[in-house]
Structures are given as structure tokens and as C-alpha cells.
Amino acid sequence: MISKEEFLLKAYKLGIIKFGNFTLKSGIQSPFYVDLRPIASDPELLKELSQQLLNLLKKSCYDLICGVPYAALPMATAMSLDSGTPLIIKRKESKGYGTKKMLEGIFKSGQTCVLVEDVITSGKSLIETIEEVEKEGLRIKDIVVVLDREQGGVSLLKEKGYNVYNLFTIEEVVDLLYKNNLLSQEELQNIKNFLKSTPIVTAQVKSSRLTYEEKAALQSHPAAKKILEIAIKKKSNLIASLDVSTTQEVLQLAETIGDTIVAVKLHTDIIKDFSEEYVIKLKSIANKKNFLLFEDRKFGDIGNTQQMQFEGGLYKISDWADLITSHVIAGEDSLKIFDSKVGIITIAEMSSSATLTDENYKKRAIEISENISNVIGCVAQSKLPSSLLLFTPGVNLNSIKDKKGQNFNTPEKVFDKNHTDFIIVGRGIYKSTDPKKEALKYQKSGWEAYLKNISI
Ligand code: 5BU
């Protein structure tokens, strides 16, 4: 491998940096212009660049490489060939949802992907790529960049928790060129003044999370379509978890807060006086107030037992639940026994401290969920691929944890960080002295967080 300086001088000869007076995309007048694309016209130099970039990543662990389109594509390809790491390709053009994929190549959610970028200015293109890649369930920890124009992009990405490794900063480049008599003192000063005086640009990026309308168009299961339609109609993404112990309390709460929610989530096995009559009354309130019935049964057994638990026993869940939760612990076949009418929500990741649902578990849970047609989404505490709806429990506006292992986040946080679809609130509502007022508060706060999430 040649030195960085030698590499730069060879690249300079190809015309990757020009000095003069240039108008940038942003309208700013710049005394230099950088374009790294010519490097691909010199295969030896491209190979050299790939080695330099791989060297920056020598302490990183990753399964895949992805270049930010288009300029970094040859670089990422060369790195893939050099390192034997599979390449994935991100499309630049927008696609008709449900028809073409945004990421091409073979990958599985949960894998770690390194991003490669040629020049970073505000970080906008990188953030767009990150959103697309993470949406498919891939993890990004490291980003490698050939040149940092020192305009705010690197700090923005670091703030967001990514490691950014850059081969050069623009300052280093001009210093090296000056040292090699390729730049006059005056030009050097001119550039340095420009760098000092140019305002830091903050990337304004359109969020790439899908809207409820877009998700409804993607979903084929009736329960998924229904919950999204209710969300749009009621301007609510709130699921109330009514973890109370009598049918009277459930019915009363359902009646009181029914207008503000998309579903009532239940743990029917904690109710003392369950009866068929209760189910009839609850269904009638659900119809009147337009919300779904969601039994949080968390099935976790072999298919044969789960089927008996779902269809039989006291509760006959299959008779009335629109949605149910199930673990994936017993493997894919155990999930195939549920009636196709019920929407299954798998448990991919739990909200409790020290849960065993680590990254690898989540990755496998997502794979299984994507293979079963009536799985409509997952319970998780981080982003999911856009084909699955994300249901987030552990939401509370007033607490950060309880004393039994539960962790809470605010609606704003789970939308902002995880692009959730539905918030699940238990004690925040049913334990309050005024559940109606509190449900309205969560409805409003969840909806505002969603609107903010789709607009930024
Ligand atoms: P809370 O009172 O807001 O903590 O109630 C949360 C509800 O969501 C409760 O019924 C839990 O059983 C449920 N839950 C959860 O809190 N965390 C998880 O990871 C899963 C379910 Br899965």
C-alpha cells in the first residue's frame, strides 16, 4: 500500500480537485471543486483507494458493504472484491412501493453493513442511505469516507451514534498539495479563509419512513389494513393495554377511551370473572367505537399446544381476537397453526431490562415473521423492515422505568428513534385518575410524534 500522500498526488493528476471559482449546488461560491469519480478510470488507483479505505476499517466487524450512490459505487465494489465482503447496492431512484426493492443484493435483517461515501459535506446523502438500509433491518455502525469537506456532516453523523472514518479532510488535502508545490501560498490562504467562513450546513433530510397510507397500501392482511385505516381515520396510533382484573373495569375503560384508540390490548388470563357475555359486550363496544381487540397472549409453545390454547380453553381467543402476540421461540412451524384471519404480532424484542431478545434473536424473529403471511408486525424496541408494522410497549410520559424491569420511553422518542407505528400504553392510562384525559394526551402526543416523523 502506498502512503496517503502518494495516493493523493496520483489522484490529483487525474483531476479530482480543481481550483478556481465554482458555484456549488447550495449556491455557495467555492474556491475549489472536488469530484472523485475519475479515480474509477484508473483501476490501479481505485484498488489502492479500496485498500486505504479497508485499512481505516481494520478494527470494524461487518457483514456487508454498501456505497452511497453513485460516486461511491465503484469504491464499494473494489472494497468488496478486495475484502471478500458481499456488496449490496442502494438504488437512488425512488420506486413504486411494493414492486421494486430499494436495496439490491442478498442480505438478511440483523446483518451489519459498512457504508462508503466519496465526499461528505452536510451528510444528507449518507443519512438518506442510512435510513433506507436500516429500514431493511440492517445495522450500520461504521461509515468510511474518502474526503470530509468539513461542513458539518461528520459531526452530525457522530451525534447520531455512527463511527465515521475519513481518509482525508479538505484541509489535509490542500496542505499536502501546497507542500508539493501544487498550490500557491495565496491559493492556500484563500481556501483556508473560505473553509473558516463557510457556514456549517445542517442536513435537512426528508424522513424515509412510510406514512400510514403508504403502509396500508403495502399490507395485504385485513387486520393490518384495518388498524392502519383506523389510525388514519382517528388520527391515533394509540393501543391501550387494559391490564385490569375485572370485566367491569375493562368494559368501562373501553367505553371511556374507545374513541381515542386503535386497539384495546388485553391479558385475558388476568381477568377474574371472564365470561362469554363479557366478550359479546366488549365486541359490541369495539364495533361501536371502531377499535380492534388485541390479545397479548404471547404464545410460546409447540404448534399443537398453541393451537389448543388459541382455539380452546375458557377464552376461545380465536373466536374474538383480531390480533394476537406470539413468541417465535418454537420456530416457524409453530406459527402456522393460527387461523389466517387473525393478525399475528411476533415478539422480536422485549422492553424489559436484560431481556434475552438480543440482536441475533431479533434478526431471526424478523426472518420468521417475514415468512408467515398472517404475521403483520412485531413487538420491538428498534427499527423494523417496512414490510412489518412496529408495535412498541413500554411507553409512558411520566416514568422511565418501574421496579420490576420495565423500561419506558416517550411517544416522541419511539417515533423519532425507531419509526414505530403503534404505541402501547398500559399503566400510563388505566392507573390514572382520569383515564379519558390521559388517553387523549397519549393520542395527541403519539400523533404529533408521527406527523413530525413523516415530515422531517
Ligand atoms: P405498561 O403498564 O405501559 O408497562 O404496560 C405495558 C404492556 O405491554 C403490558 O401489558 C406488558 O405485558 C406489555 N409488554 C411490554 O410491556 N413489553 C414487552 O416487551 C412486551 C409486552 Br412483548
What is the residue extent of each domain of the chain?
Answer: 4-197, 212-454
| pLDDT of res. 386 | 84
CA of residue 393 to ligand 1 center, whole Å: 5
| pLDDT of res. 95 | 47
Bigger pLDDT: 98 or 145? 145
- Integer Cα distance of 21 and 393 in angstroms: 55
334-359 average pLDDT score:
95
The CATH code for residues 212-454 is 3.20.20.70
pTM recorded for the entire structure: 0.63
Q: Which residue's C-alpha comes closest to atom 19 of ligand 1?
A: 350
- Integer Cα distance of 143 and 145 in angstroms: 7
- Integer Cα distance of 456 and 454 in angstroms: 6
Most confident of 15-19, 101-105, 428-432: 428-432
Amino acid identity, position 21: N
- 429 CB under 6 A from ligand 1? no
What phi and psi values does residue 143 have, to the nearest 5 degrees?
Answer: -130, 135
Helix spans in 85-242 (H): 124-135, 153-159, 170-179, 185-197, 212-218, 222-234
Report whether 444 belongs to an annotated binding site. Answer: no
User: What confidence tens digit (pLDDT) does each residue in 386-414 have?
Assistant: 889 999 999 999 999 999 999 999 999 99
356-382 average pLDDT score:
93
| pLDDT of res. 387 | 86
User: What confidence tens digit (pLDDT) does each residue in 48-96 have?
Assistant: 999 999 999 999 999 999 999 889 999 999 999 999 999 999 987 654 4
Query: What percentage of the chain carries pLDDT values higher than 90?
Result: 77
CB 389 within 8 A of CB 419: no
CB 393 within 8 A of CB 414: no
- Integer Cα distance of 162 and 156 in angstroms: 9
4-197 placed in CATH 3.40.50.2000: no
Q: Which residue's C-alpha comes closest to atom 1 of ligand 1?
A: 426
pLDDT at 100 over 70: no
CA nearest neighbour of 226 among 267, 263, 281:
263
Report whether 243 belongs to an annotated binding site. Answer: yes
Burial of 121 from C-beta contacts in 10 A (0-12 / 13-18 / 19+): buried
| pLDDT of res. 25 | 67
Residue 264: strand, helix, or coil: strand
- 377 CB under 6 A from ligand 1? no
Q: Which atom of ligand 1 is nearest to the CA of 396?
A: 3
DSSP state, 202? P
pLDDT at 99 over 50: no
Q: Which residue's C-alpha comes closest to atom 21 of ligand 1?
A: 393
pLDDT at 26 over 70: no
- 110 CB under 6 A from ligand 1? no
3-class DSSP string for 305-370: HHHHHHHCCCCCHHHHCCEEEECCCCCHHHHCCCCCCCEEEEECCCCCCCCCCCHHHHHHHHHHHH
pLDDT at 207 over 60: no
pLDDT at 201 over 70: no
| pLDDT of res. 93 | 67
CB 251 within 8 A of CB 279: no
Q: Which residues have a catalytic role annotated?
A: 296, 298, 301
Most confident of 23-32, 121-130, 183-192, 201-210: 183-192
- Integer Cα distance of 33 and 22 in angstroms: 7
Indicate if the alpha-carbon torsion angle 243, 227, 422, 437 is positive or negative.
negative
User: What confidence tens digit (pLDDT) does each residue in 271-314 have?
Assistant: 999 999 999 999 999 999 999 999 999 999 999 999 999 999 99
| pLDDT of res. 109 | 80
| pLDDT of res. 27 | 72
CA of residue 379 to ligand 1 center, whole Å: 10
132-139 average pLDDT score:
84
